[in-house]
């Protein structure tokens, strides 16, 4: 039964050259679950069938057709099927630069913008997300760019706000940031929690609590997510998956494959092949 469920799953994660700083994911998942992770940019998702359960710091969000899920940069979240049949969705991942440039041009919002609501009922905005996908797949750059801007302005006008400025960090937050920087610099050979805490002059449990409070996940989960992010950048640059795996500290390519597929939604080989293609017209995945 599990094999039959897997056969029903498909996913395409790609970029359209005419819309820089935007990733697109169209997929249907039945048994796939996304572990806790975050994105450098924004997430705008529209479920087109079934139910997706999205775990966010404020609780679980149930996304159904006609709703739009909005996630700000660096907000940790999970995703899983909300019913046995799973879910299908179209998702846009615009960079922070894209969203903030549009906000500066057409709204009174200044600084870094964000969205206070994670899920809104807005069938029109959900259709716009799907239409951006279809326009990009058809190679219609004018339509794709226009529809993306209409979508972003609508969401900003209705749900956008300026994010609060960063306040001075307390001691625990400073330790968490120093730990993050240490893990980034030693990604291929990270220290144990005890060693890292000793280097920072704190205790393992104090560091663990501070890190989870600051980044929404423990250091080892954050490190896996960071490794996958760095592997994506290497794959974008044309590096082979096996070489990317070693460069970011995974044991081997199967180790990378497992974590990359869970977090990104497609295997690294398929991700790299999509990056290597030139899109004029592109077929949609099966319904």
Residue 279 has pLDDT above 90, yes or no: no
pTM attached to this predicted model: 0.89
Residue 137 has pLDDT above 90, yes or no: yes
**Distance (Å, whole) CA 280 – CA 282:** 7
Beta-strand runs (E) in the chain? 10-15, 22-29, 34-37, 43-50, 52-56, 59-63, 67-71, 77-81, 87-94, 113-115, 119-121, 160-162
Question: Who has greater pLDDT, 161 or 284?
Answer: 161
Q: How many CB atoms lie within 10 A of CB 6?
A: 12
How many angstroms separate the CA atoms of 282 and 265, rounded? 19
pLDDT for res 282:
43
Q: Kindly tell me if the per-residue pLDDT of 59 is higher than 90.
A: yes
Spatial neighbors of 8 by CB under 8 A, at least 6 apart, are: 28, 30, 86
Nearest to 34 by CA among 66, 74, 80: 80
Residue 162 has pLDDT above 90, yes or no: no
Note the pLDDT tens digit of each residue in 95-105.
Answer: 999 999 999 99
Most distant pair of Cα atoms in the chain: their distance? 56
Cα–Cα dist 1/223, whole Å: 33
**Containing H/E element for 259?**
helix 253-264
**Tens-digit pLDDT profile for residues 176-190:** 999 999 999 999 999
- DSSP character at residue 58: T
Six token digits for residue 2: 């599990």
Return the minimum-mean-pLDDT range out of 35-49, 156-170, 216-230: 156-170
pLDDT tens-digit map of 189-223: 999 999 999 999 999 999 999 999 999 999 999 99
pLDDT digits (tens, 9 = 90+) for 251-267: 999 999 999 999 999 99
Listed residue (216, 215, 227, 245) closest to 190, CA to CA: 227
Give the β-pairing of 43-50 and 87-94.
antiparallel
Task: Using pLDDT thresholds of 50, 70 and 90, give the confidence band for residue 280.
Answer: very low
Q: What is the DSSP letter of 19?
A: S
CB 198 within 8 A of CB 191: no
Per-residue pLDDT at 168: 52
């Amino acid at each position: 039964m599990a094999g039959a469920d897997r056969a029903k799953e498909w996913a395409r994660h790609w970029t359209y050259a005419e819309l820089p700083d935007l990733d697109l994911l169209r997929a249907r998942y039945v048994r796939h679950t996304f572990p806790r992770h975050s994105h450098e940019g924004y997430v705008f998702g529209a479920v087109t069938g079934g139910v997706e359960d999205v775990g966010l710091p404020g609780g679980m969000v149930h996304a159904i057709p006609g709703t739009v899920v909005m996630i700000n940069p660096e907000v940790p979240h999970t995703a899983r099927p909300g019913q046995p049949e799973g879910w299908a969705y179209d998702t846009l991942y615009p960079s922070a630069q894209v969203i903030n440039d549009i906000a500066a041009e057409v709204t009174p919002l200044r600084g870094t913008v964000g969205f206070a609501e994670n899920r809104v009922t807005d069938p029109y905005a959900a259709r716009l997300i799907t239409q951006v996908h279809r326009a990009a797949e058809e190679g219609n750059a004018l339509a794709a760019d226009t529809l993306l801007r209409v979508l972003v302005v609508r969401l900003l006008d209705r749900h956008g706000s300026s994010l609060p400025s960063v306040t001075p960090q307390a001691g625990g937050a400073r330790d968490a940031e120093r730990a993050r920087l240490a893990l980034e610099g030693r990604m291929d050979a990270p220290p144990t929690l005890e060693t890292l805490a000793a280097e920072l002059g704190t205790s393992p449990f104090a560091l663990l609590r501070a890190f989870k409070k600051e980044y929404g996940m423990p250091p080892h989960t954050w490190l896996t997510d960071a490794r996958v992010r760095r592997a994506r950048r290497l794959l974008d640059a044309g590096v082979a998956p096996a070489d990317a795996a070693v460069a970011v500290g995974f044991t081997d390519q199967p180790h990378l494959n497992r974590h990359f597929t869970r977090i990104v939604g497609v295997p690294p080989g398929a991700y790299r092949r999509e990056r290597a293609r030139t899109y004029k017209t592109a077929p949609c995945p099966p319904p």
